Amino acid sequence: MNEEQKSLLLESSSRFLLSQGVKVSYGTAGFREDASILSSTVYRVGILAALRSLKTQSVIGVMITASHNKFSDNGVKIADPNGGMLSQHWEPFADKLANAPSPQQLLQLINEFVEKERIPFDGVRPAEILLGRDTRPSGEALLEAARQGVTSIVGAVASDMGILTTPQLHWMVRARNKGIKASEQDYFEQLTSSFRCLMDLIPTERKVFDGVNDKLVVDGANGVGGAKLRILHNLLNVLDMEVRNSSEDEGVLNDGVGADYVQKEKVAPRGFGSKDAGTRCASLDGDADRLVYFSVPPESNAQIDLVDGDKILSLFAVFIREQLSLLNEKEDIKNCGKARLGIVQTAYANGASTNYLKNLDLEVNLTPTGVKYLHEKAAEFDIGIYFEANGHGTILFSESFIEWLEVRSNMLSSGSKGSEAEKAALRLLAVSKLINQAVGDALSGVLLVEVILKHMGWSIHRWNELYIDLPSRQLKVKVADRTSVVTANAETVVVSPPGLQEAINAETAKYNQGRCFVRPSGTEDVVRVYAEASTQEAADTLANGVAKLVDQFLG
């Protein structure tokens, strides 16, 4: 770094001093705190993004959002060149940068890192960053802090992409780096055209819907996803869809609404009730990277029927598998019909879903919690489907498989009459365009679920009956130091403190179909307990028993 660069960093960082006593942590997917203390963090993430852009010679994204957290919080997520989460290799630097106590120490840290990583400061390709934010009022000032961080690197350019969902920004970063059109309009265009393509490919005999189950009502968490979904709905003009709880409506972001609330509490969000009994409903989280479905039972006060990420995954798996077997029927393309399909879940996946998928002869892999782990694993397959039970997930297609599908589908569009195999190739290609390849995206998820249900001729109830969830319970335990819990084997086993896993095993063995694990949260100062058993009462008692053990070992 030359002197001009050093003095620019010193000068701008003196405007974003770290508040006394504040310690922030990168966590699972970026920094998240009360918005009032975040400006120095976001400014520094701006610097980090610019350095990452120089290092990778690619466009990087910075998204200001705190997802499903309360209204007064905010946060920042970083999108890497492929649209995925920031490389884990850079996370420790992110932590150090965010907590550097003074401008001098910040400069020293950057200087050392730049040398260690050999980040080119030759000005050949200046850093380029796309900035986005959700609808939180604190977002505007924080976006400005990010912009100032970016522009404290000489020559770096920050483009404000406006109010977006998190997956839209990730999509744009990926598209920009692939050299394809990357505006919000292009995003909508790609989603609508691939959705229409899938609708047109629904077998004629299945095109008769019963009308009763056709309507979809979506809870937008009072956030950005609701507003964007309304735009998509208007553009499509074919879905019977109502969006409630959008940022344009009254109501507080994530307050008694949204996918996180619906999935964890198993209750209907605000604005939904017995009037919606039997209707197919869906819920997005605050930044629209999670999606769950549900239906409201006729009796008021009853729990909803939750159709969570595991069931969305199962629906996608059934559909993809059907298309692959259609491809397989044709002798000359057998090899590609045998494309490697992989499923990726976490330990939170309901045991009944994992059994169901294994019974379909699918390869099921477990990874630790957090999109970066699931995504990485799913990318190993020709088609990798990953989902967390909380509704975050997507379907990844390998470049080589997409190329192969393109060859098949070109043959079809150039006039040959479509065989079942060729239609299956076209469907898979359309899915690869509809479903976000960068990160889980509730908007593209809704469209894919809707068209698959129509393709199958299934109601939400038929879909929900693919398997019956085992009763489960999640609890959180406040402990002095959550980092003293260390896990292995995709968080299914505690290795430290010693003796805790043996105690959990002994407790779990008392229950029919019992399964239980504990892990430190990556986003909150707690240890989480998950328990599953053959009855709700048993799952509750098991979870409570293990929570007590955690307390004893760590309290």
- By CB under 6 A, tell whether 370 contacts ligand 16G: yes
408's enclosing H/E stretch is helix 399-413
* Contact assessment for residue 513 and residue 492, using Cβ atoms and an 8 Å cutoff: no
Q: How far apart are CA 477 and CA 491, in angstroms?
A: 16
**In this structure, how many other beta carbons lie within 10 angstroms of the beta carbon of residue 162?**
12
359's enclosing H/E stretch is helix 351-359
Q: How far apart are CA 323 and CA 137, in angstroms?
A: 45
The beta strands (E) that lie in 193-285 are given as 216-223, 241-246, 280-284
- By CB under 6 A, tell whether 64 contacts ligand 16G: no
Among 256, 418, 457, 522, binds ligand 16G (CB under 6 A): 522
- By CB under 5 A, tell whether 33 contacts Mg ion: no
Burial 61-73 (b: 16+ CB within 10 A, else e): bbbbbbbbbebeb
CA distances from 487 to 87, 477, 497 (A): 21, 16, 10
- Contact range with ligand 16G by CB under 6 A, out of 104-112, 115-123, 351-359, 385-393: 385-393
- By CB under 6 A, tell whether 262 contacts ligand 16G: no
3-state secondary structure of 420: helix
- By CB under 5 A, tell whether 441 contacts Mg ion: no
Copy the structure tokens of residue 410.
């070109």
* Contact assessment for residue 274 and residue 210, using Cβ atoms and an 8 Å cutoff: no
Q: Is 289 annotated as a binding residue?
A: yes
369 binds, among ligand 16G, Mg ion, none (CB under 5 to 8 A by kind): ligand 16G
Q: What are phi and psi of 526, to 5 degrees?
A: -145, 165
Q: Is 523 annotated as a binding residue?
A: yes
- By CB under 5 A, tell whether 422 contacts Mg ion: no
Site string for ligand 16G, 317-336 (x = CB under 6 A): --------------------
Q: Is 87 annotated as a binding residue?
A: no
Side-by-side strand order, sheet with 515-520: 472-477, 527-532, 515-520
In terms of CB distance, is 103 or 393 closer to ligand 16G? 393
- By CB under 6 A, tell whether 544 contacts ligand 16G: no
- By CB under 5 A, tell whether 532 contacts Mg ion: no
CB of 317 to Mg ion, least distance (A): 23
Residue 377's Cβ-count burial label (10 Å; 0-12, 13-18, 19+) is buried
Site string for ligand 16G, 330-369 (x = CB under 6 A): ---------------------------------------x
* Contact assessment for residue 245 and residue 251, using Cβ atoms and an 8 Å cutoff: yes
CA distances from 63 to 1, 24, 73, 290 (A): 27, 17, 14, 16
Interface with ligand 16G in residues 439-458 (CB under 6 A)? none
Q: Is 65 annotated as a binding residue?
A: no
Among 371, 428, 443, 494, binds ligand 16G (CB under 6 A): 371
370 binds, among ligand 16G, Mg ion, none (CB under 5 to 8 A by kind): ligand 16G
What are 223's strand-pairing partners? 246
What are 219's strand-pairing partners? 244, 283
Q: Is 282 annotated as a binding residue?
A: no
* Contact assessment for residue 528 and residue 521, using Cβ atoms and an 8 Å cutoff: yes
12, 40, 53, 67: which is the annotated catalytic residue?
Answer: 67
Site string for Mg ion, 63-82 (x = CB under 5 A): ----x---------------
Pick left, alpha or beta for residue 370 (phi over 0 → left; psi -120 to 50 → alpha; otherwise beta). left
In terms of CB distance, is 67 or 367 closer to Mg ion? 67
Among 184, 276, 287, 450, binds Mg ion (CB under 5 A): 287
Among 39, 247, 367, 390, binds ligand 16G (CB under 6 A): 390
Q: Is 545 annotated as a binding residue?
A: no
In terms of CB distance, is 52 or 392 closer to ligand 16G? 392
- By CB under 6 A, tell whether 51 contacts ligand 16G: no
Copy the structure tokens of residue 13.
């960082």
- Euclidean distance between the first and the last CA atom of the chain, given in angstroms as a whole number: 48
- Contact range with Mg ion by CB under 5 A, out of 59-67, 113-121, 323-331, 423-431: 59-67
Given CA atoms 45, 50, 55, 57 in this order, what sign does their dihedral have?
A: positive
Give the total of residues touching ligand 16G (CB under 6 A): 14
Q: Is 353 annotated as a binding residue?
A: no
Given CA atoms 30, 35, 40, 46 in this order, what sign does their dihedral have?
A: positive
- By CB under 6 A, tell whether 292 contacts ligand 16G: no
| DSSP type of residue 378 | H
**In this structure, how many other beta carbons lie within 10 angstroms of the beta carbon of residue 376?**
18
In terms of CB distance, is 292 or 449 closer to Mg ion? 292
- By CB under 6 A, tell whether 521 contacts ligand 16G: yes
Q: Is 520 annotated as a binding residue?
A: yes
285 binds, among ligand 16G, Mg ion, none (CB under 5 to 8 A by kind): Mg ion
165 binds, among Mg ion, ligand 16G, none (CB under 5 to 8 A by kind): none
- What one-character-per-residue DSSP string does 95-125 give? HHHHH--SHHHHHHHHHHHHHHHT---SSSS
Among 382, 388, 422, 469, binds ligand 16G (CB under 6 A): 388
- By CB under 6 A, tell whether 523 contacts ligand 16G: yes
CB of 522 to ligand 16G, least distance (A): 3
Q: Check if 274 is active-site.
A: no
- Contact range with ligand 16G by CB under 6 A, out of 116-124, 236-244, 388-396, 529-537: 388-396
Site string for ligand 16G, 65-104 (x = CB under 6 A): --x-------------------------------------
- By CB under 5 A, tell whether 289 contacts Mg ion: yes
List residues with catalytic annotation: 67
Footprint on this chain of ligand 16G (rule: CB under 6 A): 28-29, 67, 369-371, 388, 390, 392, 521-524, 528
